[in-house]
Amino acid sequence: MTEYGEHIPGYEVTVINERKARAAARVYLAFMFIDFTIRMITQKYAPSLLLRKFVGGVITKEQLKKEKKKKRLTLKKKPNELLKIKRRV
């Protein structure tokens, strides 16, 4: 199992610096608050969505074509056929 924290002489368990943990939590919560606020105003330019473009990697043309093809196939089917598919899963 992975261990977090530092080994300090005199303690049998690993110790976490509480100040660093709280500071990291504050930064994370501030980012989430800003992201949520921007999403309420305009969903197109939210920081998490922009970050996903860089972290998630570049989508190739072949992947984009497959996604479009899947959407077209589901749109061509009748609503009754879609219900049958959902029930099987």
**Is 11 found in the same domain as 37?**
yes
CB 14 within 8 A of CB 6: yes
Average pLDDT taken over every residue of the chain: 77
| pLDDT at 64 exceeding the cut of 60 | yes
**Is 53 found in the same domain as 13?**
yes
Q: What is each CA distance from 61 to 56, 58, 64, 66, in whole angstroms?
A: 15, 10, 5, 9
**Is 49 found in the same domain as 63?**
no
Q: What is each CA distance from 53 to 19, 27, 33, in whole angstroms?
A: 32, 21, 20
Question: Among 14-18, 25-29, 38-42, which stretch is predicted with the lowest mean pLDDT?
Answer: 38-42
3-class SS at 6?
strand
Q: How confident is the model at residue 89 (pLDDT cuts 50, 70, 90)?
A: very low
**Domain extent for 66:** 59-89
